[in-house]
Structure 1
Amino acid sequence: MSGVKMNNVIKQYGEIQVIHGIDLQIKDGEFCVFVGPSGCGKSTLLRMVAGLEETTSGQMTIGTRDVTTMDPSERGVAMVFQTYALYPHMTVKENMGFGLKMNGHPKSAIEAKVAEASGILKLDEYLDRKPAALSGGQRQRVSIGRAIVRGPEVFLFDEPLSNLDAELRVEMRVEIARLHKEIGATMIYVTHDQVEAMTLADKIVVLRLGRIEQVGSPLDLYRDPDNKFVAGFIGSPAMNFLDATSGEDGVTIQALKMTAPNPIGKTSKAVTAGLRPEHLEIDPAGDALRVDLVETLGGVSFAYLVSDTGEKIVIEERGDEPVSEGQRVGLKFDAKRLYLFDAETEQRLRA
């Protein structure tokens, strides 16, 4: 297996530049997830690794080989797409071994590799079925199996779970995580779903408008975001952002009608205060906010609050008696959980 390195990688379509000088190193055996909103460039960057998109400038390296101008078939990668792309007239066994057959591998070698991949993905009982007789999750496992039999240096996944229902998505996330542990391959995974990113990744690359906003482990990005964009993208529900003023006496948050201890000790400055829903608690004695809606999900509830200034806040509640719609409440939180961002640049302010 091999790692992937990008050095000042740029992609242009005519005069339009969509990838802006990406520098990134993915270690051998690492599970790296590209995450970001639609149009951020994550799928384009993945296709550049695969060779399906030409690199306008910069260098792409897999292992010790410069693959920048190599044909996709020479790069040692295998790609799993959002659509299963299975041949409907072929059985599962034939679909998984087709690539090797086209490359002239001996029949015995193909059968051995298909059997190995089938065992890993628990597809043995489906080998003689055709895709029409399989569920969506089973078809995606066949697609992954087709990649495994090629024995690539790097596995590439382009939103492979997007077409599955919620229950199957969870099941396939577990399957892919188990697969990574079992074969130890370098994997690059593209998704817009930050829950997938958090649960699968060793390393997350947050992209916006063709640029890297931050790279780090899931918990690093959750606990220590560099800017407002990353803070709002990582975490579900998203972090709450409120207008505030940072001064020597504390941080005044207008929507909450309160002043909290200042975690950065700066002089007077307009800031955006960030608070995660799970770090907020209801203060029944307060009246700064009105409960607009409550989502009760069983062991957890989400309350949607509105301030007198019109700012919206989501909090997570655990317990059997969540707040009621129409109720007026206050909020309290540990000042150590307060994030501050520059109101203009949106960069994180640290002590």
Structure 2
Amino acid sequence: MTGVTLQRTVKRYGEVQVIHGIDLEVEDGEFCVFVGPSGCGKSTLLRMIAGLEETTEGQINIGARDVTKADPSERGVAMVFQTYALYPHMTVEQNMGFGLKMNGVPSAEIKKKVKAASDILKLDDYLKRKPANLSGGQRQRVAIGRAIVRGPEVFLFDEPLSNLDAELRVEMRVEIARLHKEIGATMIYVTHDQVEAMTLADKIVVLRAGHIEQVGAPLELYRDPDNRFVAGFIGSPAMNFLNGKVMDGAVAVPALGRSVMPEVNLPMEGTEVIIGIRPEHIEVQRGQGGLNAELSEALGGVSYLHLGTHTDERIICEERGDERAREGDTVDIAFEPRRVMVFDAQSELRIR
């Protein structure tokens, strides 16, 4: 059993602290994704697990071993980076087996392990090619294959798809998901793309400024976020947020010109709150209301309608079907009270 456990892990660069006492358990065989905005500490945390960054305080265990002070080569991990880092003068086969060769592994064993990895990643037709003759997606598969042949206990991925175009990103997401199912190894994956996180992860860790905001399964975070940050980060397009105030047992929302009654225990009268409603939970009612359709992003099967309000707050609605609002239309919106989330305006914590 080889999971990863972080206990009160801290990282400082001089006087600047970037990781703030993180506790986390990644189960054996789990696909765990670190997400968050740039600078939140997700790559630093991954590099601490790999041993590429020194842990200032706390403890990191891989399986039953304390590896906090261990060299990267002694941790039983393999890392796939954003850049492919392939040797241009070597073939695919040589690139994949180079690490084993440097460790003195016999040639016959290297060939066997490279062939096994090549079968998994469907690289058999490219083993004699050099990196210059491969596409970006094929190069990333070679980089993953190089990690596989080492037989690590834990795979670490640091934004491996960020250099690929949109089509290749989708293709490689599928490849990585299939790889995890086939190998069953523990994988920790860093991305700023919440779509990647939602489609790949068994568990998502949402980070902000070196702190964990929430940990959970993808749909758990989508349906039941703990605070405004998580609610706005998970989901695409992002959740709509509108300012409101508790009045007469409901929430008065100036942007809508009316009150809404969410199915939550509202705080005391006069409390400033924020309501959140996802674009896909809003119904657009054309030919009525006082919201201005400023932009319609037509993406084929779905359109995203951007609405302006007299409070200058913006609302994005998802529309499907043949009849959709157009730019310049005046519309109203409707939604089910159970779909509305409420957050404290000061702490931004969820009110349930």
State the TM-score, normalized to the length of structure 1. Answer: 0.98
> Counterparts of 2:11 and 2:55 in 1: how far apart (Å)?
6
Asked if 1 retains the 8 angstrom alpha-carbon contact of 2:265 and 2:351, the reply is no
> Counterparts of 1:309 and 1:9 in 2: how far apart (Å)?
44
Runs of 4+ residues over 6 Å off in structure 1: none
> Counterparts of 2:193 and 2:350 in 1: how far apart (Å)?
23
C-alpha displacement at 1:248, in angstroms?
4.3
C-alpha displacement at 1:260, in angstroms?
1.6
> Counterparts of 1:233 and 1:174 in 2: how far apart (Å)?
22
Match of 2:49 in 1: 49
Q: 1:300 aligns with which of 291, 302, 315?
A: 302
C-alpha displacement at 1:259, in angstroms?
1.4
Task: Give CA deviations for 1:211-262 in whole Å, capped at 9, x if unaligned.
Answer: 0000000000000000000000000000000001124431221111121223
| 2:64 partner amino acid | T
Task: Give CA deviations for 1:178-224 in whole Å, capped at 9, x if unaligned.
Answer: 00000000000000000000000000000000000000000000000
Aligned alpha-carbon RMSD (Å): 0.9
> Counterparts of 2:347 and 2:19 in 1: how far apart (Å)?
22
> Counterparts of 1:245 and 1:330 in 2: how far apart (Å)?
21
Asked if 2 retains the 8 angstrom alpha-carbon contact of 1:246 and 1:262, the reply is no
Counting only pairs closer than 5 Å after superposition, residues 81-100 of structure 1 correspond to structure 2 as 81-100=81-100
Which stretches in structure 2 are left out of the alignment for 5+ residues? none
Match of 2:238 in 1: 238
C-alpha displacement at 1:265, in angstroms?
3.2
Moved more, 173-182 or 319-328: 319-328
Return closer, same or farther for 1:246/1:262 CA change in 2, 3 Å cut-off: farther
Task: Give CA deviations for 1:133-156 in whole Å, capped at 9, x if unaligned.
Answer: 000000000000000000000000
Alignment coverage as a number of residue pairs: 350
> Counterparts of 1:202 and 1:309 in 2: how far apart (Å)?
40
> Counterparts of 1:195 and 1:246 in 2: how far apart (Å)?
34
Q: 2:291 aligns with which of 271, 289, 292?
A: 289
Which stretches in structure 1 are left out of the alignment for 5+ residues? none
Match of 1:348 in 2: 350
Counting only pairs closer than 5 Å after superposition, residues 7-18 of structure 1 correspond to structure 2 as 7-18=7-18
C-alpha displacement at 1:326, in angstroms?
1.0
> Counterparts of 2:75 and 2:247 in 1: how far apart (Å)?
55
Asked if 1 retains the 8 angstrom alpha-carbon contact of 2:286 and 2:329, the reply is no
Match of 1:114 in 2: 114
Match of 2:338 in 1: 336
> Counterparts of 1:290 and 1:248 in 2: how far apart (Å)?
28
Task: Give CA deviations for 1:152-191 in whole Å, capped at 9, x if unaligned.
Answer: 0000000000000000000000000000000000000000
> Counterparts of 1:320 and 1:165 in 2: how far apart (Å)?
30
SS at match of 1:284: strand
Asked if 1 retains the 8 angstrom alpha-carbon contact of 2:301 and 2:321, the reply is yes
Match of 2:190 in 1: 190
